[in-house]
Structure 1
Amino acid sequence: MRFFALKGSEQLGAAAARALSIDLDPHEERDFEDGEHKARPLVGVRGRDVYVLHSLAGGEGVSANDKLCKLLFFLATCKENGAARVTAVVPYLAYARKDRQTKARDPVTTRYVAQLFEAMGTDRIMTLDVHNFAAFQNAFRCESIHLDTRKLFAPLIGKLAGDLPIAIFSPDSGGVKRAQLLKEALEAETGKEIGFGFMEKRRSRNVVSGELFAGDVADKAVFIVDDLISTGGTVLRAALACRERGARAVHAIATHGLFGKGADVLFGSQAIDRIIVTDSVDSAAVAKARYPQAPLDILPIGCLVGKAIRRLHAQGSISDLIGIDD
């Protein structure tokens, strides 16, 4: 096995490597004055099972496009130099939200990104809590592996709720399935009945509307669940609605903490008690440092990623790892 982590994903890569009880393999990345770049492995890859980790969230000084291009070229380089199999380990997959046409002549960018990976000779892609699981699976013709974080978040939910009854809440209809799966995982772990709810959200030309609210949250600890938090507007809107209906505590849970422009409003709100994300992208740690008083907790995922890579390399079961029933 060879395992590389590209620039910007080194910390997560190192954590996954520790879980594998190996060191990250060395590689070179060079940026040129005209904006072009070169990257290459500094160890032989011929005949090897190669894993390349890079999380594709844009950040300060680097765009998602830059990261995507560098990852694609590095995967192709490994294939060019004789790798037997190349797996892209992409905890956060850029453009996964644009998986369908919502306006006339819209792009379906998720599918275009999949075609780019396949054109580079990628044999397999692994990602974490993608925006739309079905769209992800349908976009890729190469093998696609999807990890989720239910087993990571479940113990923390019980701890934060204390003696209060729990309700799992989706901030929009598109996340209902994700919230239901977490609800079922909690019920299996605790043996208790878990409440459930969601609210309506429609977005058109960046204007959000919809007032339908389903579920009983009064006197409960509510956990708003989403795949990502960007500006935080969707989560905050749901939190305020839950507070208006009598929620005793409100917590926000998301796998990917992007925390872009406007997230300061989320961190300054009294409507949310805790915000819990993973370290799938570096922007979560940046936000933690920038807003030290924010009620923000970051769960590590390096161990999960490392275990998944080990199972893939040994032809083991991913379903068993993340708790999917046969």
Structure 2
Amino acid sequence: MASNAVFSSAFTLPSPSSPSISRTSHRAAADPSRRRFAAPPFASISLRCGMVEPLEFGNGSPPCMPVVNDHVLPGLLVSPRTAGLGGNHDSRLRIFSGSANPALSQEIACYLGLQPGKIKIKRFADGEIYVQLQESVRGCDVFLVQPTCPPANENLMELLIMVDACRRASAKTITAVIPYFGYSRADRKTQERESIGAKLVANLITEAGANRVLACDLHSGQSMGYFDIPVDHVYCQPVILDYLASKTICSDDLVVVSPDVGGVARARAFAKKLSDAPLAIVDKRRYGHNAAEVLNLIGDVKGKVAIMVDDMIDTAGTIVKGATLLHQEGAKEVYACSTHAVFSPPATERLSSGLFQEVIVTNTIPVPEQKSFPQLTVLSVANILGETIWRVHDDCSVSSIFQ
């Protein structure tokens, strides 16, 4: 199924006991003019999107954009976040985009009712990166949106220089919004004399001057401990769950599959929210980087619709071999769900080979037209990131979004 139309649906996840999310801060309670709208938690998500001019995304198709409440919003270009607040409340919140994913940054800014900050980024002839903020950020809460996706080293260096520019411009706080945190797979030593790249990158971001990091679906939760500054971990599961719920697949036919033992916790949490579906595990043995051999399947998938869940798809070797095994074991259909679409060659050819009914990813990493294929569906995480950014700026709870 191609993602050539804006997705729209409404559903309720099986979490009736989840507490509602209060969107009124302690400051708003004292000042009715600052009061913001109330909405239920992600346990009840409704999808409404009305855009004056739909943003162009990735391969030219409009993104799918879930929102976080049951009410019809006035549109992404008119956000309830800053409407009617008055004063200089929103003037202290600034969003700046790096060159890695400007489309996502624009969507986040639209959700917040802001315009992205003016910034000049260029390369010198020898490849050096130059960054200049073209507006004042003195005393502001600055959020820099820059995934460290391919080319990873270029985008990481650009993020560091952006942070440094904000620090030298006297920003009050600097939050590095990293939808995809590169080097996250190098989070431990598995062989002799290996580096732990995730810790090194965390040190670089901290030393550059960032006060906080906001990242989506880290490869492993332990990476948060590598930072000496606060880290807000944003979970993108609600976006994918919302979309899967619209597929009207019978819950009795569902089985959630972890492509490896390391992803069991992620798959179990996903299965619990997806009608408490049963869990299967692909047992594999990795014999090199980007190379794996599937050995066995733990669980029953015969006659089932298998939902494979992973945090990222790089070369797609693991998930394709897992899908092959699922078909051999009698799975009726196989869906691949992943937050980060790294799609290193030959991922596109492997994913479009006919093994998958649909490949569902998010736009934490931009998907260019040459990497698109008919089975690919791209969902937007702009609203979740925008909500998180607002709560950080407004000193509200972030974890309650995902409860």
Residues in 1 aligned to 2:302 and 2:187: alpha-carbon distance in whole angstroms: 35
Q: Which amino acid aligns with 1:149?
A: C
Structure 1 counterpart of 2:395, from 293, 308, 315? 315
2:134 counterpart residue number: 42
Q: Which amino acid aligns with 1:266?
A: R
Percentage identity across aligned positions? 28
SS at match of 1:19: helix
- Report whether the alignment pairs 1:301 with 2:378: no
Superposition map of 1:112-123 within 5 A: 112-123=200-211
- Report whether the alignment pairs 1:199 with 2:282: yes
Residues in 2 aligned to 1:43 and 1:291: alpha-carbon distance in whole angstroms: 36
- What TM-score do you get using the length of structure 2 for normalisation? 0.74
1:161/1:242 CA distance change after superposition, 3 Å: farther
Greater shift, 298-307 or 256-265, is seen at 256-265
Residues in 1 aligned to 2:400 and 2:386: alpha-carbon distance in whole angstroms: 15
Q: Which amino acid aligns with 2:316?
A: G
Report Cα offsets for 1:19-65 as digits up to 9, x if no partner: 1011001011121111112102111111111110001111xxxx211
1:217 counterpart residue number: 301
Q: Which amino acid aligns with 1:98?
A: A
Contact 1:96 1:130 in 2 (8 A): yes
1:107/1:297 CA distance change after superposition, 3 Å: same
1:227/1:38 CA distance change after superposition, 3 Å: same
Higher RCO, 1 or 2 (CA under 8 Å, sep at least 6)? 2
Structure 2 counterpart of 1:75, from 159, 163, 167? 163
| Structure 1 residue 153: Cα displacement | 1.2
1:309/1:291 CA distance change after superposition, 3 Å: closer
- Report whether the alignment pairs 1:22 with 2:110: no
Contact 2:292 2:317 in 1 (8 A): no
Superposition map of 1:1-326 within 5 A: 1-58=93-150, 63-133=151-221, 135-160=222-247, 162-163=249-250, 165-187=253-275, 193-206=276-289, 207-282=291-366, 284=367, 286=368, 289-290=369-370, 293-321=373-401, 323-324=402-403
1:190 counterpart residue number: none
SS at match of 2:247: helix
SS at match of 2:238: helix
Report Cα offsets for 1:261-292 as digits up to 9, x if no partner: 1113323322211000011111x2x1xx2265
Residues in 2 aligned to 1:256 and 1:137: alpha-carbon distance in whole angstroms: 18
Residues in 2 aligned to 1:10 and 1:293: alpha-carbon distance in whole angstroms: 22
Larger Rg belongs to: 2
Q: Which amino acid aligns with 1:251?
A: Y
Contact 1:150 1:185 in 2 (8 A): no
SS at match of 1:275: strand
Greater shift, 107-116 or 229-238, is seen at 229-238
| Structure 1 residue 209: Cα displacement | 2.9
1:166/1:106 CA distance change after superposition, 3 Å: same
Residues in 2 aligned to 1:250 and 1:124: alpha-carbon distance in whole angstroms: 38
Residues in 2 aligned to 1:318 and 1:219: alpha-carbon distance in whole angstroms: 40
Contact 2:348 2:373 in 1 (8 A): no
Name structure 1 gaps, 5 residues minimum: 188-192
| Structure 1 residue 157: Cα displacement | 2.0
| Structure 1 residue 160: Cα displacement | 3.0
Residues in 2 aligned to 1:293 and 1:92: alpha-carbon distance in whole angstroms: 22
- What TM-score do you get using the length of structure 1 for normalisation? 0.91
Report Cα offsets for 1:153-186 as digits up to 9, x if no partner: 1122233362361111110011111111111122
| Structure 1 residue 210: Cα displacement | 4.6
SS at match of 2:399: helix
1:55/1:293 CA distance change after superposition, 3 Å: closer
SS at match of 1:200: strand
Name structure 2 gaps, 5 residues minimum: 1-92
Q: Which amino acid aligns with 1:217?
A: V
1:53/1:234 CA distance change after superposition, 3 Å: same
Q: Which amino acid aligns with 1:310?
A: W
Contact 1:92 1:127 in 2 (8 A): yes
Contact 2:285 2:293 in 1 (8 A): yes
SS at match of 1:93: coil
Contact 1:161 1:221 in 2 (8 A): no
Q: Which amino acid aligns with 1:107?
A: S
Residues in 2 aligned to 1:21 and 1:264: alpha-carbon distance in whole angstroms: 35
Report Cα offsets for 1:112-155 as digits up to 9, x if no partner: 0000011112110011011111x211111100011111211112
SS at match of 1:126: strand
